[in-house]
Amino acid sequence: RAPQLPPCEHKPKAYTGPSFDETLAARKEFLSPGLFLYYKQPLMVVEGHMQYVYDQTGRRYLDAFGGIVTVSAGHCHPHVTKAAVDQLNTIAHTTTIYLNNQITEYAKLLASKMPGNLKCVYFVNSGSEANDLAILMARLYTGNYDLIALRNCYHGGVASAMGLTAHSTWKFNVPHSFGVHHAMTPDPYRGVWGRDDRDAGRKYAADIKDLILNGTPGKVAGFFAESIQGVGGVVIFPDGYLKEAYRIVREHGGVCIADEVQAGFGRTGTHYWGFETQGVIPDIVTMAKSIGNGAPLAAVVTTPEIAKTLAQRIHFNTFGGNPVSCAIGKAVLEVIDREKRQQHCLEMGKILLAGFHKLHAKHKVIGDVRGMGLMVALEFVKDRATKEPNKDACVQVFERCRELGALVGKGGLHGNIIRITPPMCVTKADLEFLLEVLDIALSEV
């Protein structure tokens, strides 16, 4: 018997738009071939409700990838939708050349979530834009040029962020990466120092000093790190890594930038921000994805001192701080608080990880299990001793999960990692369904 999704009262609307074949043909003809589709037989998604999405036939799926770690509150969450509709009916666009209450109310609320003196917000539209702006701020503030990022990282697709990104799969053969140097990935599974080494964090961080002394003028503008590497396959740094990395970077004149695009907003369960799991306070924080529950919204939050450097010239972003996006962003923060989503992520994460450890004990193809809260991963290998990546097994499980009704994510440089990052409203029954689906898919490998 195939596993059954938990019951759901929502009835999707009858889909009356263009057919699957028409949609696929139009996509091929009119959209860039640079866009990629998941699944051998692509999936068409026409409706969403909280942790579920529906295809054109009305079939329901568990969205265990959360629209690529983006749907935080839940698809079409009523509070978020109401905020958007109300604002659309009031005024949809002003730009920052006029005062508007939405942007200031939201900035105030977002700043209240930040530690230290991180209270000055610049809104943009995507994670790539946020990181691009953070690069500019770091260089202006420090007067330095060189940047340190980590191997296996992903920071976006615009030229500057592509430069920070360290996966060959995402880097085009054009000039980029000016001044960017990539330090060793502090990866406790694949790296040289493993989970049994209690000093691993400090050892990995020492590579940053070596890189600064060898590859830069001895001074840097900044250091970028995702608080947990997402696209790279949910890589969680060893304890103490960021603390030592930040110390070294600041000693060499740089500011520290945390990319919270995936790990932020309570997803880790234990903390609201991913960097807090490492006990550090960054100088600049970039955020996107979960911030808008699917709306094009992103932000750079920094200290007033660093923010001030942008005032030496005009800096403008037409849609940054759009009142509809801000109304949505504010509603998302309210949902995370009111519905106690951080605590829920912690509880659901425990269930998921416990289930993953059982799968690891049963299926040899799983080399590693890791995660925090609702950001977890399974890494597939051909052999547990050599850790040779097993992409084929990963693809097979990924495809089978979809057939059985669960949408999961892929990741890792070698495409051998399954990522689970569902909307934060996912329930225990959903996770039990997902674990059953994964167990079946794994048994068939």
Nearest CB to ligand PMP, comparing residues 193 and 224: 224
Instruction: Determine if residue 233 is left, alpha or beta; phi over 0 gives left, psi from -120 to 50 gives alpha, anything else beta.
Output: left
Return the bridge partners of 150, or none.
183
From CA 145, how far away is CA 138, in angstroms rounded? 9
From CA 380, how far away is CA 387, in angstroms rounded? 8
- In angstroms, what is the minimal distance from the CB of 36 to ligand PMP? 13
Return the bridge partners of 255, or none.
222
**Interface with ligand PMP (CB under 6 A), residue from 207, 226, 283, 368:** 226
From CA 76, how far away is CA 13, in angstroms rounded? 14
| Backbone phi and psi for residue 419, each to the nearest 5 degrees, phi listed first | -115, 135
Q: Is 419 in the site for ligand PMP (CB under 6 A)?
A: no
Q: Is 253 in the site for ligand PMP (CB under 6 A)?
A: no
| Backbone phi and psi for residue 314, each to the nearest 5 degrees, phi listed first | -80, 130
Strand order in the sheet with 375-380: 366-372, 375-380, 417-420, 409-411
Q: Is 146 in the site for ligand PMP (CB under 6 A)?
A: no
Of 265-304, binders to ligand PMP (CB under 6 A) are 288
CA-wise closest residue to 419 among 235, 157, 170: 235
Q: Is 207 in the site for ligand PMP (CB under 6 A)?
A: no
Cα torsion 354, 359, 364, 367 to 10°: value is -40
Of 112-131, binders to ligand PMP (CB under 6 A) are 126-128, 131
Span interacting with ligand PMP, options 48-56, 225-233, 335-343, 415-423, rule CB under 6 A: 225-233
Q: Is 329 in the site for ligand PMP (CB under 6 A)?
A: no
- Please give the size of the binding site for ligand PMP, defined by CB under 6 A: 14
Of 44-83, binders to ligand PMP (CB under 6 A) are none
- In angstroms, what is the minimal distance from the CB of 167 to ligand PMP? 11
Asked if residues 224 and 131 have their Cβ atoms less than 8 Å apart, the reply is yes
Span interacting with ligand PMP, options 151-159, 217-225, 318-326, 436-444, rule CB under 6 A: 151-159
Neighbour tally for 46: CB within 10 Å: 17
Q: Is 230 in the site for ligand PMP (CB under 6 A)?
A: yes
With CB atoms as reference, the residue minimizing the distance to ligand PMP is 127
At CA 233, angle to CA 230 and CA 234, rounded to 5?
Answer: 60
Nearest CB to ligand PMP, comparing residues 125 and 390: 125
Nearest CB to ligand PMP, comparing residues 235 and 366: 235
- In angstroms, what is the minimal distance from the CB of 234 to ligand PMP? 11
- In angstroms, what is the minimal distance from the CB of 370 to ligand PMP? 17
CA-wise closest residue to 328 among 130, 77, 99, 49: 77
Nearest CB to ligand PMP, comparing residues 152 and 262: 262
From CA 97, how far away is CA 309, in angstroms rounded? 19
- In angstroms, what is the minimal distance from the CB of 361 to ligand PMP? 30
Nearest CB to ligand PMP, comparing residues 288 and 374: 288
b vs e for 273-309, b when ≥16 Cβ sit within 10 Å of the residue's Cβ? bbbbbbebbbbbbbbbbbbbbbbebbbbbbbeebbeb
**Interface with ligand PMP (CB under 6 A), residue from 132, 187, 259, 379:** 259
Q: Is 155 in the site for ligand PMP (CB under 6 A)?
A: yes
Q: How far is CA 94 from CA 100, 103, 319, 328, 342, in A?
A: 8, 10, 9, 16, 33
Binding mask 335-374 for ligand PMP (x = CB under 6 A): ----------------------------------------
- In angstroms, what is the minimal distance from the CB of 4 to ligand PMP? 32
From CA 140, how far away is CA 307, in angstroms rounded? 10
- Tokens standing for 195? 């989970």
Nearest CB to ligand PMP, comparing residues 66 and 156: 156
- In angstroms, what is the minimal distance from the CB of 227 to ligand PMP? 9
Q: Is 262 in the site for ligand PMP (CB under 6 A)?
A: yes
Q: Is 222 in the site for ligand PMP (CB under 6 A)?
A: no
Nearest CB to ligand PMP, comparing residues 67 and 405: 67
Instruction: Determine if residue 255 is left, alpha or beta; phi over 0 gives left, psi from -120 to 50 gives alpha, anything else beta.
Output: beta
* For helices 391-404 and 428-443, angle between their N-to-C axes, nearest 10 degrees: 130
**Interface with ligand PMP (CB under 6 A), residue from 54, 106, 122, 154:** 154
Q: Is 231 in the site for ligand PMP (CB under 6 A)?
A: yes
- In angstroms, what is the minimal distance from the CB of 343 to ligand PMP? 24
Q: Which residues bind ligand PMP (CB under 6 A)?
A: 126-128, 131, 154-156, 226, 230-231, 259, 261-262, 288
